[in-house]
Amino acid sequence: MTAIWRSTLALLGATTLTFAMAHAQSPELSDPPEINGGLVGDHGSHTLRMGIGLAENSPQFISSQYFGEILKQRTDGRITVNVFPNSQLGDDVQMLEMLQTGTLDMTYPSSSATTGYVEELAAFDLPFLLPNREAAVAVMQSDAAQGMLDAFEGTGLKALTFSENGYRQLSNSARPVASPDDVAGLDVRGLSVRTMENPVHLAIWDALGANPTPMAFGELFSAMEQGVVDGQENPWSTILSSNFNEVQNYGTETRHVYTPFIMMLSERTWDRMAPEYQELVLEAARQSAKYQIQLSAEYDDWSRDQLVERGMEITSLNNKQLAAFQDAVQPVYEEWAPRIGEDLIAEIQKIAEESSN
Ligand code: TK8
């Protein structure tokens, strides 16, 4: 393909996405990287349906669109991806099952929803394991992490790549929280906190003295609105893009867990694809994940400021306060580390340490 063609294609792609972003009520986010690489051979057409949980103005949606754009351009429109946001097609757990039965092609769950398939992934649910984003990215790009993705083989799920959901923060509608005692509520009842359907997260909030309630993401807004639960925990970017601030007055910067997303494809869809298409799908998944991590970092910082501007009272924890949370969840480590694998956790901690050197 001549240089002119390539730049025209790249330009076309970039313009469409910049247009979409401008209308997403979000800050100046980085433009998607130029789509490079030639056209792949004609191995027939595929229209992939992809279900995700978050909204159109989320980095998850924007990077999924970019993933689709790469495939469309590199196959001259033979592979297209339709992204369905806002849990329209189901929640993380349901959509994974739909991939297994072949009634859906793709989804992008939090790793926490997949530990029933590959228990080692629960390592990411251990509290305060990853001190910063550099460490998290280094771990997600490590051989240990690739081993976890490979371990899905034979489950009906093809795990393509990790990307960022982000650092989880507590929000609630009842009271400011600066300590585990505020969660437990010494003279009032403990906060009822929605968690993902994941045993480690249940254990974390149990250890902090809350009443943890596992629930699908799609049910969360109305559960908070109706007072079924007092609070929840998610990255600032998700709290904002899902308008949780409309039903949550208080936020606490706990950063208690860094949750990855995992881009998933149905093994049936994968097996129907020619090897050259499979290679391209993996490449596009990794490129879009890299962009997603960058977007997520930009959006998360901006979201925190926006939430304050929109009236949320956010409590930042000093080191002493943070240590109180870390001490309170130590039993979770003791319970889960042997089950997940002490060697794997030690390897992850080593990668995390080395990443900040
Ligand atoms: C969206 C979920 C969400 C997760 C949760 O499908 O359930 O709270 O953090 O991002 O994956």
pLDDT of residue 188: 67
Tell me, in angstroms, the distance from the centre of ligand 1 to residue 170's CA: 14
Q: What is the pLDDT of residues 340-353, one digit of tens each?
A: 999 999 999 999 99
Nearest CA to ligand 1 atom 1: 53
Q: How confident is the model at residue 275 (pLDDT cuts 50, 70, 90)?
A: very high
Q: In the prediction, which pLDDT does 25 show?
A: 54
pLDDT digits (tens, 9 = 90+) for 137-192: 999 999 999 999 999 999 999 999 999 999 999 999 999 999 999 999 866 678 99
Buried/exposed 230-267: b ≥16 CB within 10 Å, e otherwise? bbbbbbbbbbbbbebbebbebbbbbbbbbbbbbbbbbb
What angle in degrees, to the nearest 10, is found between the helix axes of 59-74 and 275-309? 150
Residue 230 Cβ < 6 Å to ligand 1: no
Cβ(303) – ligand 1 distance below 6 Å: no
Ligand 1 atom with least separation from CA of 53: 6
Atom of ligand 1 nearest to the CA of 261: 11
pLDDT for 186 = 66
Nearest atom, ligand 1, residue 91 CA: 6
CA 66 – ligand 1 centroid, Å: 20
**60 in contact with ligand 1, CB cutoff 6 A:** no
Distance between CA atoms of residues 341 and 120, nearest Å: 7
| Top mutation candidate among 170, 259, 262, 296 for ligand 1, by most atoms within 8 Å of CB | 259
Per-residue confidence band for 356, with pLDDT thresholds at 50, 70 and 90? confident
- Which residue among 165, 204, 240 has the greatest number of ligand 1 atoms within 8 angstroms of its CB, and so is best to mutate? 165
Ligand 1 midpoint to CA 246 (Å): 18
Look at residue 225 and tell me whether its pLDDT is greater than 60. yes
pLDDT higher than threshold 90 for residue 304: yes
Asked whether 196 lines ligand 1 (CB < 6 A), one says yes
Q: What is the mean pLDDT of residues 54-74?
A: 97
Query: What's the confidence (pLDDT) of residue 5?
Result: 45
Q: How far is the CA of 194 from the centre of ligand 1 (A)?
A: 11
Closest ligand 1 atom to Cα of 54: 1
Tell whether ligand 1 has an atom less than 6 A from the beta carbon of residue 238.
yes
- The pTM score is 0.92
Ligand 1, atom 7, lies closest to the CA of 217
- Any idea which residue has 């969840």 for tokens? 329
Q: Average pLDDT for residues 255-284, to the nearest whole number?
A: 98
pLDDT value at position 268? 98
Beta pairing partners, 178 = none
Residues in contact with 301: Cβ distance below 8 Å, sequence separation at least 6, in sequence order: 236
C-alpha 114 to ligand 1 mean position (Å):
12
Region 257-284: what's the mean pLDDT?
98
CA distance 154 to 100: 10
State if residue 110 touches ligand 1 by the CB under 6 angstroms criterion. yes
Mean pLDDT score of the chain: 93
Residues 5/63/84/58 CA torsion (nearest 10 deg):
-140
- Mean pLDDT of the 15-32 span: 60
Among protein residues, the one whose CA lies closest to atom 4 of ligand 1: 110
* Shortest-distance atom of ligand 1 to CA 52: 6
Place of tokens 């254990």: 203
Mean pLDDT score, 246-255: 98
Task: Please tell me if the CB atom of residue 306 comes closer than 6 angstroms to any atom of ligand 1.
Answer: no
* Å from CA of 315 to ligand 1 middle: 22
Q: Per residue, what are the HEC states of the chain?
A: CCHHHHHHHHHHHHHHHHHHHHCCCCCCCCCCCCCCCCCCCCCCCEEEEEECCCCCCCHHHHHHHHHHHHHHHHCCCCEEEEEECCCCCCCHHHHHHHHHHCCCCEECCEHHHCCCCCHHHHHHHCCCCCCCHHHHHHHHCCHHHHHHHHCCCCCCEEEEEEEEEEECEEEECCCCCCCHHHHHCCCCCCCEEEECCCHHHHHHHHHCCCEEEECCHHHHHHHHHCCCCCEEEECHHHHHHCCHHHCCCEEEECCCCEEEEEEEEEHHHHHCCCHHHHHHHHHHHHHHHHHHHHHHHHHHHHHHHHHHHCCCEEEECCHHHHHHHHHHCHHHHHHHHHHHCHHHHHHHHHHHHHHCC
pLDDT of residue 13: 47
- Residue 20 scores a pLDDT above 90: no
Render pLDDT for 74-125 as a digit per residue (tens, 0 to 9). Answer: 999 999 999 999 999 999 999 999 999 999 999 999 999 999 999 999 999 9
